[in-house]
Amino acid sequence: MSQTKFWHLNSILNIIRFIFGLSLVFWIIFYGGKNMSQKEIRNEKFDICIVGAGLSGAVIAERYAATSNKTILVIEKRNHIGGNCYDYIDNETGIRVSKYGIHIFHTNYEHVWSYVQQFSKWIPFEFKVQSYVQGKHVPLPVNIDTVNSLFGLNITTVKQMDNWLENEQVHFDHAPSNSEEVALSRVGRKLYELIFKPYTIKQWNKSPAELDPSVLARIPVRHDWENRYFTDAHQALPANGYTYIFQTMLHSKNIKVKLNTDFFAVKHFLQCGKTYFTGPIDAYYSDFGLKPLEYRSLMFKRVVIKNIDHHQPTSMVTHPSIITNYTRIIEYKWLPNQLYKSNDTVLLIEKSSDHGEPYYPIPNDDNKILYKKYQALARKEHNVYFVGRLANYKYFNMDEAIKNALYFFNRTR
């Protein structure tokens, strides 16, 4: 590329970045995203108050705005809408980046797919993941190629793969009672020790034996060469990113958004007909004397590599080895909803932590029992509803979060 063309491309890129940044500011100021003062909140009554501007909160707000003339307040403690789906254009590279890890939309729910079509054009994208094991990149979920590569085998048919797994699997005389037994019964001890056990320990800071069977039951195992992580009927990314979707959903004269606001700091003077709470349920009842529920958080390190096409062979590579203190590396340049082809690349190195924003409920017997106590308190509430992953202490995929919010809206409006 000539020097003139390079500077011309850079100028165009800077204009795109400026317009994107300006559009966000414009939206926050003018389109229901008004950063209301506490005085305004104190003096105004709202039919609907929603705590959290993530998926669950945005769906509830959008449905009320689209089907009624009710006044709606959305309270968000972060400085942006979109929750963990929030994305933006990285200033240094021009690459679209999700701030809180990768999010691939996939669903078999036709009504959910139909619903999200209203807010964006979508680009088909089949998510393919690899795992870095013993110095090799191998497909994940485990498939025939994974097994052949790791163990030097030459499995060539599904029947041979079935036989290999059958010989490796640990057979219990009872249904698996924890995630260790789930993994051993599905893939056997070799793959369990090589991939599943060390990754789970890094991700959850607990042995698979300490976790509910549901944790590793979610991980698929292929008996063929299928290398897509998901096999849902609909798999896609929003053409203009996820933040754009939330802007569209919350664009209504009946919706006001208060950013940078802790709900609990303003709760005592809010005037709400109904309240939908999407935060951690134990935070809502923090003064009731119960133990807090356990959550696992995530930490992200942004790394830019200059003048390179790609750093890794796919958008996400997991690193199960205990030797590395991170769990996976995301390379956003692989995603098809980029504005243009950057000369550089951005990596997000992800590691799990017990401290920070709650991301994943930790499913074990103690937390299940404790959650039921919080649930009992929630049932006594009048016109307060608990919606979403953290409020229900349950892992939801994106489509499940939308499905859950649509259900709650239809049940409680």
Q: Residue 54 and residue 388: Cα distance in Å, rounded?
A: 9
Return the DSSP state at 323.
T
pLDDT digit string, tens, across residues 4-13: 443 454 445 4
pLDDT at residue number 44: 87
The whole-chain average pLDDT of the chain stands at 91
- Can you state the angle between helices 144-151 and 179-191, rounded to 10 degrees? 50
What 3-state DSSP class applies to 286?
A: helix
pLDDT at residue number 3: 42
Mean pLDDT of all residues in 194-220 = 94
What 3-state DSSP class applies to 95?
A: coil
Mean pLDDT of all residues in 281-307 = 96
pLDDT digit string, tens, across residues 52-79: 999 999 999 999 999 999 999 999 999 9
pLDDT digit string, tens, across residues 32-47: 444 555 666 777 899 9
Q: Residue 252 and residue 189: Cα distance in Å, rounded?
A: 55
Q: Residue 309 and residue 204: Cα distance in Å, rounded?
A: 33
pLDDT digit string, tens, across residues 195-206: 999 999 999 999
The full set of domains in the chain, from first to last, is 3-89+97-118+240-290+362-412 (3.40.50.720), 129-217 (no CATH)
On the question of a cis peptide bond just before residue 141, with omega within 30 degrees of 0, the verdict is yes
pLDDT digit string, tens, across residues 374-404: 999 999 999 999 999 999 999 999 999 999 9
pTM over 0.85: yes
Distance of CA 196 to the CA centre of its chain: 21
**SS3 of 18-84:** HHHHHHHHHHHHHCCCCCCCHHHHHHCCEEEEEECCCHHHHHHHHHHHHHCCCCEEEECCCCCCCHH
CA angle centred on 45, ends 40 and 51, rounded to 5°: 80
Question: Strands 316-318 and 129-133: what pairing?
Answer: parallel
pLDDT at residue number 313: 97
